[in-house]
Amino acid sequence: MNFQYLTEYIDNLFESEGIPSRDIIVYQKGKEIYRHSAGYQDLATGEPIRRDALYFMYSASKLLTIVATMQLLERGKILLQEKVSKYLPEYSNLKVKAMDERGNATTVPARHSLRIWNLMTMTSGIAYNTKAPEILACMEEHNGAPTTADIIKAFAVRPLNFHPSEHWMYGFSHDVLARVIEVVTGESFGDYVKKNIFDPIGMTNSYYHLTDDLRPRMAAQYKFDAELGKAVDVGLNNAHIFGPKFESGGAGCISCLDDYILFAETLTHKGVAPNGNRILSERAVDLMRSDCLDDRTRPDFNWEAFVGYGYGFGVRTFISPAKGGSLTSLGEFAWGGAAGAYVHCDPEKEISIVYLQHMLNNKEPIVHPRLRNLVYAALDY
């Protein structure tokens, strides 16, 4: 193994891409084989990035929500083809955006029922819009502190962007899943995840609420300003968290490198955590990473960084080395987050990677594919 080029790349990411903090860990066959950090906990003070720094995981949180849903599937609590309205009545009689004969915006009844499978695969038609009027009204109605249930009801008022199953679109689907989990289990989403994922795995530094005692450990959060050509501090705010009572299944987790690598290792080893606890069956993990795109939805999954990948349940899954130009293994699966978090699981080669940074406008298409190739090239030495 020779990680020289990987280390050089991470060390140079501030100069080359403006990313203030970088932290990466790699496991192979159950053992840590590489750990490196560079940059700053806070640019203003010059404090080096802490080993126990906390980050908003943003969409890397979605993996937790998918695992929680798969647990309910294998415990006989839900079926993926069940209608969402069975658990959330507000999702009955959904409307879909349309244009009338004169080209005016209107709505029509949804041709297909919205099913849990649609939420898992981002084929629901539920869009991302954190400033939607319905959400802002909900926030105002509840004095800035709506519950998960309140926000998910507000989502249901908005028409879908397309008929369920007919397209793929990234959106609030996994936030709705979190509310389904609450209804099925009778627990808050955060409590369920702590009891069924964090605690069994040993993730003692992962949370769904940013409390005052956690703030000193949070890496300062930045946004890359293209006009200025540098990262600008934007404060410790997460636009996907709608107040202190809302627990986001799509973007709500706060965690650190040493915790999230335990979660990645659990998925890499098909449901068995490093401490030996099994939280999910092998079949469930394989189902998670199965390509669920079809002829209708595949053209929509056209993000630059995902060439050669399909989409499973909340993860991109590697299906074509020739198209993807990646050095990784068929079937490896991963997802990232808005500030640059990256979680990578490879059951075939028993490789897990977690990379964390805290910069919006994160340059994911530039950074993540390079990190993958640098890790796998190093392992071939």
Domains of the chain are: 4-60+205-379 (3.40.710.10), 71-185 (no CATH)
Judged against a pLDDT cut of 70, whether residue 363 lies above it is answered with: yes
State the pLDDT at residue 380: 77
- Determine the 3-state secondary structure of 102 from DSSP: coil
What does the pLDDT look like over 49-99, one tens digit per residue? Answer: 999 999 999 999 999 999 999 999 999 999 999 999 999 999 999 999 998
**E strands, the chain, where?**
21-28, 31-42, 47-48, 55-56, 95-99, 105-109, 222-225, 230-233, 254-255, 309-311, 316-318, 333-336, 342-346, 351-356, 359-360
State the pLDDT at residue 100: 83
Mean pLDDT, the chain, rounded, equals: 96
Q: What is the dihedral of CA 313, 317, 323, 325, to 10 degrees?
A: 140
pLDDT band at 102; cut points 50, 70, 90? confident
Question: How far apart, in whole angstroms, are the C-alpha atoms of residue 199 and residue 216?
Answer: 23
State the pLDDT at residue 331: 95
Q: What is the mean pLDDT of residues 228-256?
A: 96
Judged against a pLDDT cut of 90, whether residue 27 lies above it is answered with: yes
Rg (CA), the chain: 20
State the pLDDT at residue 381: 60
CA distances from 20 to 36, 38, 275, 336 (A): 14, 8, 33, 18
Task: Give percent of the chain with pLDDT exceeding 70.
Answer: 100
Minimum mean pLDDT range among 160-169, 249-258, 316-325: 316-325
Distance from chain centroid for Cα 92: 27
Q: Apex CA 171: angle with CA 65 and CA 201, to 5°?
A: 15
Q: What is the mean pLDDT of residues 260-273?
A: 98
pTM: 0.96
Indicate the burial class of 143 (C-beta count within 10 angstroms; 0-12, 13-18, 19 or more).
exposed
State the pLDDT at residue 234: 97
Question: How far apart, in whole angstroms, are the C-alpha atoms of residue 333 and residue 344?
Answer: 6
Q: What is the mean pLDDT of residues 327-335?
A: 95
State the pLDDT at residue 1: 82
Over 312-381, what HEC string results?
Answer: CCCCEEECCHHHHCCCCCCCCEEEECCCCCEEEEECCCCEEEEEECCEECCCHHHHHHHHHHHHHHHHCC
pLDDT band at 103; cut points 50, 70, 90? confident
